[in-house]
Structure 1
Amino acid sequence: MNIKLEMLRVFRVVAEKGNLAGAADALGRTPSAVSMTLAQLEDEIGAPLFEADRKNRLSPLGQFVLDESARATDAFARSLGAIRRHAASVAGTVRVAAVPSATVTVLPGVIAAFRAERPDVRLEISDVDSEAVRRRVMLDEADIGIISSPIDDDADGLPILEDDLGIACRSDGPIAHHVRSGDAASWDLLRLEPMVANPLCQLVRHPGVAEALASCNLEARNTSALLSFIRAGLGASVLPRSAVATETGELSFVAPNDPQTRRALRKISNPERRFSPAVGAFWAAL
């Protein structure tokens, strides 16, 4: 069977557009050329991929071939992108996907030190939650990932930072007031203010946090946004100590011990991908 990648690309566009004319416009070809490519693909497969000549309804086999075509053409596009990035920068490019708290606490110092040693390397940083970091690394959309996980979870990655989780709140709010008054630093204090949810809340095993999340109607995943919402008096949230350490007296950090909860930042990579020299150097810098 002599199926070419270009056949799969053309078929994918036709299936997504639902007609030859639209696909021809998108591909910069004539409808007859697109139709000929589809015919060649169906001849190679030995069965029709569409239910009708109008190309707006896939056969069951066609749906399977579409899924595989999408995987194949996406993988090719990622590889082509990597080649182009490397060609555009002699020193190379490093793509890092990190949880937002890492972009605030860890990466600035690492980047400053790395650029002092390797100023010719291009760095591309994106901040997303841990699950999205894992997906980007596995799909080769990022060279290095930084995830957040429980301190005792060593299932994947290498730890680069351990930190207390606690309640970030306004210094003039009811949570901070109760602590100053001598009340125990408990996760139950979250009942005193609205909760601003974020993925780190899921790492705390306490009914008070679960209750606060159940009634929460505001969520943010970016650390800067979370801190901004807390400053504005919209509620309190669960954050690492390091995310609040550089804040002025406007915000307070309360570290409950019922239970004490710590998280680890871990660096991850795709074991099936070989590091370029630039990526290897940044990995070591972390």
Structure 2
Amino acid sequence: MAIKLEMLRVFRVVADRGALAEAAAILGRTPSAVSMTLAQLEADIGAPLFETERKNRLTKLGELVLAEAVRATDVFDSSTETIRRLTASVAGTVRVAAVPSVAATLLPGAIVQFRQSHPEVRLEISDVDSASVRRRVRLDEADIGILTAAADDPGDGVAVAQDALGIVYREGGRIDRALAEGEARPGWSLLGLEPLIANPLCALVADRHVAERRDACTLQARNTTALLSFVREGLGATILPEGVASILGGGLGFVRPADPTVRRALRMICNPGRKLGPAAQDFWNALA
């Protein structure tokens, strides 16, 4: 038996279309050439795959062989795409999926450093939540992922940074006035003064005031820019890492509660089943 991948690919297309002529048009072959390939496959297998000459109904064996043909051709196509990306080691593409606050704070400096030695490499940055970061890396939709974890969580991947979480509020709002009046130790209880604009970072704060405001929350967002815009419009206060203080702009303030201080870790991950290409590895090194 000398079954070839191309035989399985032809069989898959014919089985999917249910007609030789239509499958031949898709494959860019003549119907007779497709018919010969199928005949060779059936000869190698030793049993028919179709119940009729019209190729519109599979035998029981044909159904089983089709499942294997789909699996084999999908794996091959995925592998060839990976190889194609790996060979583009210099003028290639590096795909990074990161939580929004990283895209706004950590990545710009890393990109500047990377650009100095790789000005021609295309960078594709997507800002998504931590669960989506893991999914994209697992499905090979991103080469590198940067996600949020609790500071004491060893997790997987490599720790690249830690910072404290705090409250972003609007200047002139109730939280701003309470701070101006001299509260000695600003705490998470400040969130009781304004509606909470929730985001995934809120889950890292084990404080009853935060939990109560989350339960009563009617507005939630993930994107850092959107969260800051909502706070600036007076829709409430939110929880973000201390690193965003440098990009707040006018009209917003940041306070880090100390009851307790809550820190989040940023961890960088990649798919352990795939080796990073040279360009992606260099970008990883710029972040690590």
Q: Tell whether the 8 Å contact from 1:89 to 1:122 is kept in structure 2 after alignment.
A: no
Distance change in 2, residues 1:4/1:125 (3 Å): farther
- Gaps of at least 5 residues in structure 1 are 50-60
1:52 aligns with none
Residues 63-98 of structure 1: per-residue CA shift (max 9 Å, x gap): 999998877665544433333445567443221111
Distance change in 2, residues 1:91/1:65 (3 Å): same
Shift of 1:199: 0.9
Query: TM (normalized to structure 2)?
Result: 0.76
SS in 1 for 2:220: coil
The answer to which of 117-126 and 13-22 deviates more is 13-22
Residues 184-221 of structure 1: per-residue CA shift (max 9 Å, x gap): 41212212212211111111111111111111122111
1:191 matches 2:206: no
1:117 aligns with 117
Q: Please tell me the residue identity of whatever aligns with 1:106.
A: L
Distance change in 2, residues 1:179/1:86 (3 Å): same
1:54 aligns with none
Q: Distance in 1 between matches of 2:232 and 2:138?
A: 36
SS in 1 for 2:156: coil
The answer to which of 34-43 and 140-149 deviates more is 34-43
Q: Tell whether the 8 Å contact from 1:159 to 1:266 is kept in structure 2 after alignment.
A: yes
Q: Please tell me the residue identity of whatever aligns with 1:141.
A: E
SS in 1 for 2:283: helix
1:210 aligns with 211
Shift of 1:125: 1.3
Q: Which has the larger radius of gyration?
A: 2
Q: Tell whether the 8 Å contact from 2:96 to 2:142 is kept in structure 1 after alignment.
A: yes
1:225 matches 2:226: yes
1:143 aligns with 143
Q: Tell whether the 8 Å contact from 2:195 to 2:235 is kept in structure 1 after alignment.
A: yes
Shift of 1:7: 8.0
The answer to which of 225-234 and 8-17 deviates more is 8-17
Distance change in 2, residues 1:66/1:138 (3 Å): farther
Residues 108-142 of structure 1: per-residue CA shift (max 9 Å, x gap): 11101110112122222111111111121122221
Distance change in 2, residues 1:154/1:181 (3 Å): same
Q: Distance in 1 between matches of 2:228 and 2:66?
A: 44
Q: Please tell me the residue identity of whatever aligns with 2:272.
A: P
Q: Tell whether the 8 Å contact from 2:93 to 2:124 is kept in structure 1 after alignment.
A: yes
1:107 aligns with 107
Kindly report which structure 2 residues correspond to 1:1-286, keeping only aligned pairs within 5 A, or say none: 75-86=75-86, 90-183=90-183, 184-286=185-287
Q: Distance in 2 between matches of 1:248 and 1:241?
A: 14
Q: Tell whether the 8 Å contact from 2:89 to 2:278 is kept in structure 1 after alignment.
A: no
The percentage of aligned residue pairs carrying the same residue is 60
Between the two proteins, the alignment pairs up a number of residues equal to 286
Shift of 1:9: 7.1
Q: Distance in 2 between matches of 1:123 and 1:203?
A: 30
SS in 2 for 1:148: strand
Shift of 1:245: 2.2
Q: Tell whether the 8 Å contact from 2:94 to 2:280 is kept in structure 1 after alignment.
A: yes
Q: Distance in 1 between matches of 2:62 and 2:239?
A: 48
1:56 aligns with none
Query: TM (normalized to structure 1)?
Result: 0.77
Q: Please tell me the residue identity of whatever aligns with 1:103.
A: A
Q: Tell whether the 8 Å contact from 2:11 to 2:38 is kept in structure 1 after alignment.
A: yes
SS in 1 for 2:258: coil
The answer to which of 68-77 and 155-164 deviates more is 68-77
Q: Tell whether the 8 Å contact from 2:89 to 2:279 is kept in structure 1 after alignment.
A: no
Q: Tell whether the 8 Å contact from 1:148 to 1:265 is kept in structure 2 after alignment.
A: yes
Q: Distance in 2 between matches of 1:22 and 1:259?
A: 67
Distance change in 2, residues 1:283/1:234 (3 Å): same
Q: Distance in 2 between matches of 1:221 and 1:19?
A: 49
